[in-house]
Amino acid sequence: MKAYRDYVFSAGRRPLTAILLLCLLMWMAVGPEGKSQSLGKTVSLFDGKTLNGWKTVDPANQKLWWVADSVIRSGDGIHKIPANTYLHTVKEYEDFEFRCLFKLTGDPKTGMINSGIQYRSILQDGKIVGYQADIGDGYWGDIYDEHRREKLVGGDLSTLRHVLNKDGWNSYIIRCRGNFHELYINGVKTCEYTEKDASIPRKGVIAVQIHSGGVAQVEFRDLTITELK
C-alpha cells in the first residue's frame, strides 16, 4: 500500500484513475463501517451428496430433509408440511458472508408457503432461536427473529420485484459484521439492520427452514460461507 501511495503522489501528479483505485483499496481495507477487515477462505457448507455437517433441531425430523441431484430438499409437494423444521450446521459462525441458491414451490391455496435461512441462531429448549432471512410471498428479504422478537425489518421489494423468480431459483447473500446485518436476493439489497441489544448473541449456527401449513417444497444448493476476520 505504501509503495502504491508513493507512486500515486510522486512528482506532484495525481492521475484520476490511480486516485480512484487508491480509494477503492482503502475502502476494502477498512470496510463500509470504517473497521479493519479481511476475508477468510470461502468454503462449501454442503458436499452435494450427503448431509454431513448438518442436523435437525429435532432428531425425529432428520428424515424430512434429504439430498437429490446435489440439492438439499424438504417437502414433497404432495403432503402438507406438518410443522416448522430446521436443518442446521454443526459449526457456529460469527462474522461472515453466506451465499446460496434457493427455490421454493407450492400452492398458496393449500396454506402458507414459506421458508427461510436462520443465522447466528442458538438451540434452546428444543427450539432454534435467532435471526432469519425470510423467503416467501409477503416476507421476501425480511429479517425475522425466530422464537424471540418476531419481525425486525421488512424487505424493500421496489427493485427486487423486477428480478425475483418466485417459482424458480434465486440467490441469497447474508452478510454480518459485528452488529450490522445486510440481506441481498439476486444481488439486490433488500434490507439492513443494526442490532442495538448487546445481549443478543453474535455467534450461532446457520440453518435452512421449511414452514408448516401448505403443500410445499424447498430446495437449497451451492451453500458457501466466507468468514470475515
- pLDDT, mean over the chain: 85
- Given a cut of 70, is residue 29 above it in pLDDT? no
- Residue 60, pLDDT score: 86
Cα dihedral 111, 117, 120, 125 in deg (nearest 10)? 40
For residues 26 and 180, the model is more confident at 180
**Other beta carbons less than 10 A from residue 214's beta carbon:** 19
pLDDT classification of 37: cutoffs 50, 70, 90: low
3-state secondary structure of 123: strand
Starting at the edge strand found earlier in the chain, the sheet holding 143-146 runs 54-56, 85-89, 205-210, 115-124, 127-135, 143-146, 150-153
Strands (E), 4-142: 39-44, 54-56, 65-68, 71-74, 85-89, 96-106, 115-124, 127-135
pLDDT classification of 229: cutoffs 50, 70, 90: confident
pLDDT one-digit tens code per residue, 41-96 = 899 999 999 999 999 988 888 889 999 999 999 988 888 888 889 999 999 999 99
Domains of the chain and any CATH numbers: 1-30 (no CATH), 38-228 (2.60.120.560)
Cell of 208: 435452512
Cell of 61: 425430523
**Other beta carbons less than 10 A from residue 177's beta carbon:** 18
Distance between CA atoms of residues 147 and 141, nearest Å: 18
- Residue 23, pLDDT score: 46
User: Taking the complete model, does pTM exceed 0.85, yes or no?
Assistant: no
- The string of DSSP codes covering 14-49 is --HHHHHHHHHHHHHHHTTTT----EEEEEES--SS
pLDDT one-digit tens code per residue, 156-177 = 999 999 999 988 999 999 999 9
The percentage of residues in the chain with a pLDDT greater than 70, rounded to a whole number, is 83
Of 71, 35, 26, the residue nearest 51 (C-alpha): 71
For residues 23 and 173, the model is more confident at 173
